[in-house]
Structure 1
């Protein structure tokens, strides 16, 4: 043992300062001590030779000053801000490892869902446009896409691959409105796809938040100034993209706008009429909407263009060359229309609405770029600039509405306290 003996004849003030300094170093783990003894302090004692006993021992469990001593390893490692000053890091490491592993697994799963969502949406838009190019009858194709989704859900329910929802008369009545507006939004988008480039339709559909804010305001909802400001770049960007679009067609523009109105009213009406049926999850809700939308759409499709289907079919086969190719395009458009909607509902179940809105915005970017590459649509610089401004506006809108929701939730919590 290395000892340092201090004579009782030393200056009492100097002796007090020495004790105070050593006590501070003991508690705080001061850097000079850490640098000098990186592996821990030596077994050091300071003795009062007159009293023949140690008045401060760095190896004693308790010091006369009332401050508990620390193990040498802890003095070097722990500081005043250390959340675990006793050095018991081994206890939390298994929990931290399990938490990190679970977080990585969840991130991977979410990445797969997002990847499927984007991929399925791209496939739908490409093969839907291919089919419409040779068979320009969107009412029949839109009906087939709803039929494919309905058959898919019936298979899942029949073979118990997914729990079947409990259908009641009040639920069907509450679903009639949302299904009608969904039908309007879907058929309008398909008509727009048949008249203009897919990229242009998606740019116009990025203006959906504008209609959402306007209609919700009419129904009594209030929005902060940040939300209203966020829709300005959306309007400006869509306007610039429209006037510079090579494939501009007023019918394609107007039907894309009608599609926005339909989907916004579907969301608003669903929120108001389906509040009593929260036990039905998103996927089952969408399956029921698809079945009702098919009932709405197909009779009208027969009335609008049914007399032209046979002649258009023969022209499509002659244009493609092989009937199997045309069937393949139509089949993929129907299957992937339902699959990408299914993936979007699964993503919404796993993430916050803000993250979903940002993901939906980025999805439009990916779809626009993909369809421009596949169909080689000419894009003017001003058209690209307008598209970018509109999409950036939707991103700002998602940020602003998320802050609004957070403020509303905080206000509700304060009322409940």
Structure 2
């Protein structure tokens, strides 16, 4: 919600170009229905995982997203060089080791992170297939539209599933943080930073090389995991830390292998 509110603000003030041809809006929205649905599934399941296990563990499992990407894309006809397939082995090994040694391990949290991976991979695949005729829409605007449709999907489900718990949950949250003003402040801060994270990520892709971006993206996951351990004081066993490191290294190797594959394809074209 905060993301597309922020994007609306960027559109309104001209910070971000609203580069969508009006006559294509109806067909564009139809093309977005599938990607937005998988985007919604990905975010919901990630939040479920965060609520059941340590934040660091969820991010370790989410580092396995390339594995799902390779498997699903291959099933749909794409081919990958041996280097890509080899790069996903340390991801699988690292995630497995981290899961076995995770202190806060919970099956629901594990499945939530895994389903989140599937949701985001299918979002990416179907975005590529269904939005080929809308290349005039840049990445940031595309993410904004997907988020808006995700809100449309999620709101009635949220009302039906948790609507009766909203008031009690609100009061419980206020009691946890202390005062209503503190609660609203944290919600606003988290929303603003989430929007800035998404916007900076999409804008960075236009200004830096894929290699630099993949290095930064890998370091982002390291920072998130380490920061969550420090802030939440989650106990981490040596083997758990080793598994996390192996999984993150595998993610980095996958980024390099897949970027070389993309460069080779573009050169061929």
Q: What is the TM-score normalised by the length of structure 1?
A: 0.62
Instruction: Give how far 1:231 is off.
Output: 0.5
Unaligned runs of 5+ in 1: 1-146, 413-417
The DSSP-based 3-state class of the residue aligned with 2:124 is helix
Q: What is the TM-score normalised by the length of structure 2?
A: 0.95
Q: Map 1:200-349 to 2 at 5 A.
A: 200-349=57-206
Residue of structure 2 equivalent to 1:350: 207
Equivalents in 2 of 1:271, 1:319: separation in Å?
43
Query: Does 1 or 2 have the higher relative contact order (CA < 8 Å, sep 6+)?
Result: 2
Residue of structure 2 equivalent to 1:365: 222
Equivalents in 2 of 1:241, 1:396: separation in Å?
18
Equivalents in 2 of 1:181, 1:243: separation in Å?
28
Work out the number of aligned pairs and report it.
Answer: 266
Residue of structure 2 equivalent to 1:161: 15
The DSSP-based 3-state class of the residue aligned with 2:135 is coil
Unaligned runs of 5+ in 2: none
Per-residue CA deviation, residues 321-358 of structure 1 (Å, 9 max, x unaligned), is 21111111222222222210111001111123333222
CA RMSD of aligned residues (A): 1.3
Instruction: Give how far 1:398 is off.
Output: 1.1
Per-residue CA deviation, residues 79-136 of structure 1 (Å, 9 max, x unaligned), is xxxxxxxxxxxxxxxxxxxxxxxxxxxxxxxxxxxxxxxxxxxxxxxxxxxxxxxxxx
Q: In the alignment, is residue 198 of structure 1 matched against residue 55 of structure 2?
A: yes
Task: Specify which of 173, 180, 185 is matched with residue 42 of structure 2.
Answer: 185
| Bigger fraction of residues in helix | 2
